[in-house]
Structure 1
Amino acid sequence: MARVCGLGLLLVLLLPMVGTSMPGTMVRLNKATLSYVSEFGKAPLQQALNVTLPYFLDQSRKILQPTRIQILNVNVARLHLKFLADFGVHMFAAATFNFKVLRVPEPLVLTMPVVLLADARVAQGSIQTPVVSISACSTLFGNINVLEDSNSASPTLLVLLQKHIKAVLSNKLCLSISNLVQGLNVHLGTLIGLNPVGPESQIRYSMVSAPTITDDYISLDINAVLFLLGKPIVLPVDTTPFMVPLHVDTKDTMATVGLSKDLFDSALLLLQKAGSLNLDITGQLNSDDNPLNTSALGQLIPEVARQFPVPMPVVLKVRLGATPVVTLHTNNATLQLQPSIEVLVAASNSAFQSLFSLDVVVHLSLQFSVSKVRLQGTTSVLGDVQLTVASSNVGSIDMDQMHTLVGTVFEKPLLDHLNALLGIGIALPNVVNLHYASPKVFVYEGYVVVSSGLFYQR
């Protein structure tokens, strides 16, 4: 526990915070999440409640006889969790304990119902992750009974056994619940872990304030920081807080994750700074269906045919100087790219000679999906690609013909390249082993919402 927290604190110290320029993210966990945790949590709770009992001094006999008591099993029949507004979570658990009293000459098998009540505060920890702590815990014990197929016991012995077991379990069960929660905190601490975006880039999430808790949900205000070569990607400062309206939520959804436009702007700025959006489009000289050679180009531009009577392969160097612009409107996400294309041909000395360069504007439709914990995207071209000549070493260029050529050799490689990058995706806020289940992605004015179930995989 100390090792994990120490590592988390070290990360916070080493990776600088960048104030209000960090993209905002919101995670809202609804009542459906508690229902899932209640069902999933029965097994670990049963295991935690299976504690060791001290020997019992049997005072029903003339000679005090230390007697061993074992918990055979614990069955949590009901586990119910509910939100406590402005505080945390209340737990109610109804369990049945089965004991074996190793009494001579014949052992006894006993059963006892137990109800556990606990209040857990949810707060912001020192390493900017959620922290859960037990603030109140109590146990209610039913009457102890001998199982039907066990040996009989005197009422006096049963009273003494019940008194002994209750005295021991009153403290041990609450301590076990507290220890279980401490293990949960170690798990929650993985929220601040770095997730790769690319070979030299990462994203890290952290809480920026105490959670908001109502009777219906808990909401976490989270900042995302993207790093390129260890340095944070910083956007112009925007002090407007990011919030997701309640109306986008549904009661049946476990988790609602709101992603501000700033997050997408940061991700695209990172890709642009890393050079990941640049690509080279090359043609094969012997290919019949690829017009990226001087012979095909010479049919459109006479000066190319004059300078290169022998066919040579042509290369399109696509470079993105301007940062891509994402626009989010209700049910509609678009991406605008403004790359430059330099058309090059390999000269006789293996150096590249520039023929001409184009300024390009491409509008793309953007669709989102989620796989496990990663938000992915795919694109398609919207309308016509806009081309203008930036420079030319081969005289005048007929842009109508050039538009047809560029559309043939440029659009598909660009889409393949972009979709491969966006298909890698970017990690959503997550902790280890917890995945998004059956997620749906909705686009609203200025932000994106992922509405999803949750699935914990051991």
Structure 2
Amino acid sequence: MSLRWWVALVALIPLALSTNPGVKVKLTEKGLEYGRQLGMASIQQRLKSIKIPDMSGKERVSPIGKVRYSLSNLQVVNVGLPQSAVGLVPGTGVRLSIGNAFISLRGNWRVKYLRVIKDSGSFDLNVNGLTVATSIAIKNDETGHPEVSIAKCDAAVGSVNVKFHGGASWLYNLFRKSIGRALRNSMQKQICPLVVEAISDLNPKLKTLNVVAQVDQYAEIEYSMVSSPTVSDSYIDFGLKGEFYNIGKHQESPFSPTAFSLPPQNNNMLYMGLSAFTTNSAAFVYHKAGALSLYVTDDMIPQGSPIRLNTRTFGAFIPQIAKRFPGLMMKLMVKTAKTPVISFEPNNVTIQATGTVTAYAIQPNTTLTPLFVLNLETSVSARVFVSEVRVAGAVSLNKMSLTLGTSYVGEFQVRSLDSILQVVLKLVVIPTLNVQLAKGYPLPALGKTKLVNTQLQVLKDYILIGTDVEFTN
């Protein structure tokens, strides 16, 4: 684990031009606290890598004169960070403080005096009262990836205690203080650079985040930041573009996101608001790609259904079909005529879709003969849920209406086909659509994460997801 949690959610990717975000993410104090717990492990590992070079010097000790000493093979034995806190600096970034920390080291000592007398042994160095105070800035790099850096770092070592082992104690006690000072200064100079390295280690990881997340063969979603993060005294807000695009072709949707605000909740680590703009941009992409179309054949109708896709069934309602094309199977092409419109109201997601149904007779040589084209207006309700780190859904039919577009078999009463089209929509089209919707599309995420204690609410113009996060190996 690393310090990545409380900056992780800046991994929400490249810069965009839109004023209002399609997706909002709020990182709460609870999320910051979880990040503090993970972050201490990273800093602790870094502090264990402190390297104090071999040291040598001389001291004048009465009455024996100059004493030359050297310290070598200094190794960190233990690092303790019993007190730490993380907080927010409004308008700036993240504040991390460490207090009452300690570091224990062990090494070897050697002295020479009166030119020929030598002595040696080992020593333990205990550093106590170590404090670190840092300010961490969050921004985007030139590629639009998130980037973190230390804006300020102050470190201080409270006390240093050196305990020598072996040799003549009366001798090394005479210059214990000067050695302690030298070791203290050497160590204090390294603390902030090591903390800076621990924070900088996040940036390569942040560059691997799903800047553009592929959904399927048709679409990808971009979570680009539309503005710098907003830091208050209790949360960080991130505004993300949250727009779907066709794979490899970033054509902007013909509509823009409207402003919305997340409610002041803090029971979870993280809150995400997915606006109707995001889902409508998905509808635009899939419609434009021709993915919202389906050929329906008789083998897709359940065997127990009395409705069959053949000229005999349709001939019962449109006699001229049975007369002109007796004993033939049929095929229906159901597709959207324009981009569906998705709306969010409290506890309700509704999709209005305009489409066409084209009926064909399948000739013995497999060629298709068009019979008629119906205009189809439908309203469906959607149930939205979170599956792993994806948001998914399922729809059910509310109502539908049919009008005649074109007939190649003469006039007929369109209403007589309502029951057949109801069966086709409920038993084939909607289940097929639900299979795709169940796969979901990726939420803003970092590395190997798992969402827990997740709750979802449908509010006016957006969906609110509240969740805690666990990092997995």
TM-score of the superposed pair, with normalisation by structure 2: 0.84
| Residues 1:222 and 1:286: Cα distance change in structure 2 (over 3 Å) | closer
Q: Deviations over 1:241-279 (max 9, x none)?
A: 62314xx23222211222222111111100111111111
Q: Quote the residue 2:82 is aligned against.
A: 77
Equivalent in 277, 284, 289 of residue 269 of structure 1:
284
What code does the residue aligned with 1:70 have? Q
Aligned pair 1:136/2:152, yes or no?
yes
Q: Distance in 1 between matches of 2:137 and 2:269?
A: 20
Aligned pair 1:168/2:204, yes or no?
no
Equivalent in 37, 40, 44 of residue 38 of structure 2:
40
Q: Deviations over 1:311-357 (max 9, x none)?
A: x2211111112110101112211111212111111113321011222
Equivalent in 216, 232, 238 of residue 234 of structure 2:
216
Q: Quote the residue 1:292 is aligned against.
A: 309
Q: Distance in 1 between matches of 2:181 and 2:231?
A: 39
| Residues 1:371 and 1:164: Cα distance change in structure 2 (over 3 Å) | farther
Aligned pair 1:365/2:377, yes or no?
no
Q: Distance in 2 between matches of 1:354 and 1:435?
A: 51
Q: Distance in 2 between matches of 1:282 and 1:22?
A: 44
What code does the residue aligned with 2:104 have? N
SS in 2 for 1:271: helix
Q: Quote the residue 1:8 is aligned against.
A: none
Q: Quote the residue 1:306 is aligned against.
A: 323
* Deviation at residue 196 of structure 1 after TM alignment: 0.5
Aligned pair 1:184/2:184, yes or no?
no
SS in 2 for 1:29: strand
SS in 2 for 1:385: strand
5 Å-filtered alignment, 1:75-114, equals 75-94=80-99, 95-103=101-109, 105-113=120-128, 114=130
Q: Quote the residue 2:401 is aligned against.
A: 386
Aligned pair 1:257/2:272, yes or no?
yes
| Residues 1:172 and 1:324: Cα distance change in structure 2 (over 3 Å) | same
* Deviation at residue 91 of structure 1 after TM alignment: 0.8
Q: Distance in 2 between matches of 1:344 and 1:23?
A: 44
Q: Quote the residue 1:320 is aligned against.
A: 336
What code does the residue aligned with 1:186 have? P
Conserved? CA contact 2:336–2:355, under 8 Å: yes
Q: Distance in 2 between matches of 1:448 and 1:79?
A: 35
Conserved? CA contact 1:191–1:206, under 8 Å: no
Larger radius of gyration: 2
| Residues 1:262 and 1:287: Cα distance change in structure 2 (over 3 Å) | closer
What code does the residue aligned with 1:256 have? Y
5 Å-filtered alignment, 1:198-217, equals 198-217=216-235
Equivalent in 23, 26, 33 of residue 24 of structure 2:
26
Conserved? CA contact 1:249–1:256, under 8 Å: no
Q: Distance in 2 between matches of 1:125 and 1:231?
A: 23
Unmatched segments (≥5 aa) in structure 1: 1-10
Q: Quote the residue 1:343 is aligned against.
A: 359
TM-score of the superposed pair, with normalisation by structure 1: 0.87
SS in 1 for 2:189: helix
Aligned pair 1:412/2:427, yes or no?
yes
SS in 1 for 2:52: coil
Identity level (%): 24
Q: Deviations over 1:365-385 (max 9, x none)?
A: 112222333221211112x32
SS in 2 for 1:53: coil
Q: Quote the residue 1:430 is aligned against.
A: 445
Unmatched segments (≥5 aa) in structure 2: 1-12, 60-65, 111-119
| Residues 1:233 and 1:449: Cα distance change in structure 2 (over 3 Å) | farther
Q: Quote the residue 2:53 is aligned against.
A: 54
SS in 2 for 1:83: strand
Q: Distance in 2 between matches of 1:229 and 1:130?
A: 23
